[in-house]
A and B are shown apart, each in its own frame.
Chain A
Amino acid sequence: MKHNAKYFFLLPGVVWVLLFTLFPLIYSLYLSTTNFRMGREPQFVGFENYAEILGLDGEGGDEKAAQTAGFSAFIMVGSTILTIVLGTFIAWIFNHDLPFLKQMRAIITMPLFAAPVAVGFLGVVIFNETNGPINNILQGIGLGRVNWIIDPNPARWAILLTDVWQWTPFVFIVVLAAMQGIPDDLFESAKLDTKSSWVLFSRITLPMIAPALGTVLLLRLVETIKMLDIPTTLTRGGPGSVTQTYTFYIREVGLRGSFQLGDASALSYLVVIVAIIISSIYFWRMRARYE
């Protein structure tokens, strides 16, 4: 009886993940080796889809996939770096004895809980070219107006900045929690030697929050690969297709137009591989805690 009890608790969750995560994932792997299109019988083609995407068949590969992957990489690197630098800086500010800390912290975490689709529209309103607040501010300080939605590079940055706005709070609260876990006496003794905030930060705070920063880094990388909602509403992938992310492109291939489910599955499995690499590092780091 006692032996059965422990499985009674665990099993329902495990079965759920088997059915709705693992099974679809394996099914998707199978689909990626077929030429399946909606309304047609799938035929096994081996690794042909992958070869076509990567250009291993000698035809130059899928240019659109490369282009959208490039934009996704821009978002991954840009947003991860910016959110971590900004979030850590704000956490450092809040790790002082300031008035209304709790209230300000609660307000700062708000963007995290807003639907990304809606956040994209928030971007539309804020980056509005004729009279949006950002262009009005830029005009006010003499930098002139920017065509955020129409011009390719500003459009890329509009997406990046919107994502940074939404996710900086995530880095902020996690890093702040880690900073608050640093014992006070470490600082007390160090303050006898130096008064420089920078020295205190780089010699004590930074090494102490490094594990938390590692966690944040991996989670941000994984989260940015998925990006789809913000470009969907902010720029609709435009101008042209410059702000289409890789995920955006997969949706175009597999779930619009000719529904090339085989190709789309192969495209998405390439992201799965990247995600598996990132998550392996994550799990390897957190194993100790859950043994």
Chain B
Amino acid sequence: MSTVAQLPNASTDAISTQNKVRRPLRPDRLALIGLALFWTFIAIAPFLFALTTSFKTQLDSIDGTVIPWLQYEPTLLNWQQEFGSGGAETFKTLRSSALISLGATVLATTLGTLSGYGLARFKYGIGNANIVSWFLSQRFLPPIATVIPFVLLFQQLRLIDTLPGMIIVNTTFTLPFAVLIMRDYFAEFPNELREAALVDGASEFTTFLRIALPLAAPALVAAAIICFAFSWNEYLFASVLTNRDWKPYPMMVAGTDSVRGIMFNFVSTRMIIAVALPVILSLLVQRFIVRGLTFGAVKG
């Protein structure tokens, strides 16, 4: 891994490229642009197709048309049904999703920032690399292996179908992201800042709070957004540990199975609602995605 670690931290916002000088060969460049556009299209087309389908009536939803007004008459029917007449359940599950994800985000980023700072600034007897691996190992575990003990524990603790229960579960999943993102970011600051503050008589905690934390704000936001998105999307534990009161929105999506077969228009509407928030938030953390998702193994 040392090779990767030594890679210079390529400027992440302005994409640097190997070919700074424009190639004289036009067809070459055109082919590359064409391929780039093609995959961009592949990435976004399913979302757009679902979006357009969400404005169709059930009859129109199976005719394969895509362009509103020209090919079919768009309708707000599905959206009205999701938020209007049948809206109580929608709002309830969306509210659950929001509270669960926010709670988990606050807890995971708090714990992650403290641990990340510790790992970046101090040496521990067991070896910092061991501790980092240990935090990460959570991400490598198949969640199905811990879901059964969680069911039994939560039954004992009366945490099934409760907000604290779901916050605990999602904090556990997202903690490694927060620890790693924060640790890497703190490690980039010169230690002199901390030492100077300590010499001035500030305590370790004040130094952390007044000096390190404000500097780490961008990483904190990124960690929070990544934790939020992953909590928002979690399904396995939600499907086992909630049933009525704290069912998050993905449960609602998964339950769209209608008796008379799949209603594509309605499914599409829920799909769009489920993915909108995390997908939009992801646009804000581009700088941190690579490091966050590889747990710092590759700098982005």
Residues in B neighbouring A229, C-beta threshold 8 A: 235-236
Determine the main DSSP class of A at the interface with B: helix
Interface positions of B from 226 to 254, Cβ below 8 Å from A:
229, 232-233, 235-236, 240, 250, 253-254
CA distance A271 to B141 in the complex (A): 9
User: Would A128 and B62 be within 8 Å (CB), given that A226-B143, A268-B144 are in contact?
Assistant: yes
A254 within 8 A of B: yes
Q: How large is the interface on A (under 10, 10 to 19, 20 to 34, 35 or more residues)?
A: 35 or more
Q: Give the residues in chain A near B299, CB-CB below 8 Å.
A: 177, 181
Q: A174 contacts B22, CB within 8 Å?
A: no
- Say yes or no: is B127 at the interface (Cβ < 8 Å to chain A): yes
> What is A's interface to B at a CB cutoff of 8 Å?
1-2, 5-10, 12-14, 16-17, 20-21, 23-25, 27-28, 31, 90, 93-99, 101-102, 104-119, 121-122, 124-126, 128, 130-133, 136, 165, 169-170, 173-174, 177-184, 187, 210-212, 215-216, 219, 222, 225-226, 228-229, 232-233, 236, 247, 250-251, 254-255, 261, 264-265, 268-269, 271-272, 275-276, 278-279, 282-283, 285-291
Verify B18–A109 contact, CB threshold 8 A. Answer: no
How close is B288's CB to chain A, nearest CB, in angstroms?
Answer: 11
Inter-chain contacts of A1 with B (CB < 8 A) = 203
> Closest B-chain residue to A108, C-beta based?
B43
Q: Are B135 and A13 in contact (CB under 8 A)?
A: yes
- Partner among A28, A119, A283 whose Cβ is within 8 Å of the Cβ of B149: A28
Given contacts A115-B250, A286-B129, 15 further A-B contacts (CB under 8 A): A9-B204, A10-B122, A14-B131, A97-B20, A108-B40, A108-B43, A114-B275, A116-B235, A174-B294, A180-B16, A181-B8, A210-B3, A212-B298, A251-B236, A288-B5
> Could you tell me if A290 and B298 are in contact, using CB atoms closer than 8 angstroms?
no
B71, chain A: closest CB distance, angstroms: 12
- Tell me the B130-144 residues at the A interface (CB within 8 Å): 131-144
List, sorted by A's number, 30 A–B pairs whose CB atoms are closer than 8 Å: A9-B121, A10-B115, A12-B115, A16-B172, A17-B135, A28-B148, A31-B148, A94-B15, A95-B18, A99-B33, A110-B44, A111-B46, A113-B282, A114-B279, A121-B253, A122-B47, A122-B271, A125-B267, A130-B62, A136-B64, A212-B297, A216-B298, A222-B139, A229-B235, A255-B151, A282-B140, A286-B1, A286-B129, A286-B295, A290-B128
Q: Is the CB of B142 within 8 A of A272?
A: yes
Report how far A282 CA is from B295 CA in the complex, Å: 11
- In this complex, what residue of A is CB-closest to B281? A113
A20 CA to B290 CA, complexed, in Å: 27
Interchain CB contact under 8 A, A169 and B298:
no
> Do B140 and A275 touch across chains, with their CB atoms under 8 A apart?
yes
> Is there a chain A Cβ closer than 8 Å to B171's Cβ?
yes
A261 to chain B, nearest CB (A): 5
B5: chain A residues at CB < 8 Å are 288-289
Q: Is the CB of A184 within 8 A of B275?
A: no
Q: Which residues of B contact A17 (CB under 8 A)?
A: 134-135, 138, 172, 175
Contact in complex: B133, A283 (CB < 8 Å):
yes
| A2 surroundings in chain B (CB, below 8 A) | 204
Take A93-B36, A105-B286, A283-B136 as given contacts and tell me if A184 and B141 are in contact as well, using a CB distance cutoff of 8 Å: no
B79 at the interface (CB under 8 A from A): no
A88 to B135, CA, bound (A): 29
Smallest distance from the beta carbon of B242 to chain A beta carbons, Å? Answer: 13
Tell whether, in the assembled complex, residue B264 and residue A124 are in contact, meaning their CB atoms are under 8 Å apart: yes
B297 contacts A289, CB within 8 Å?
yes
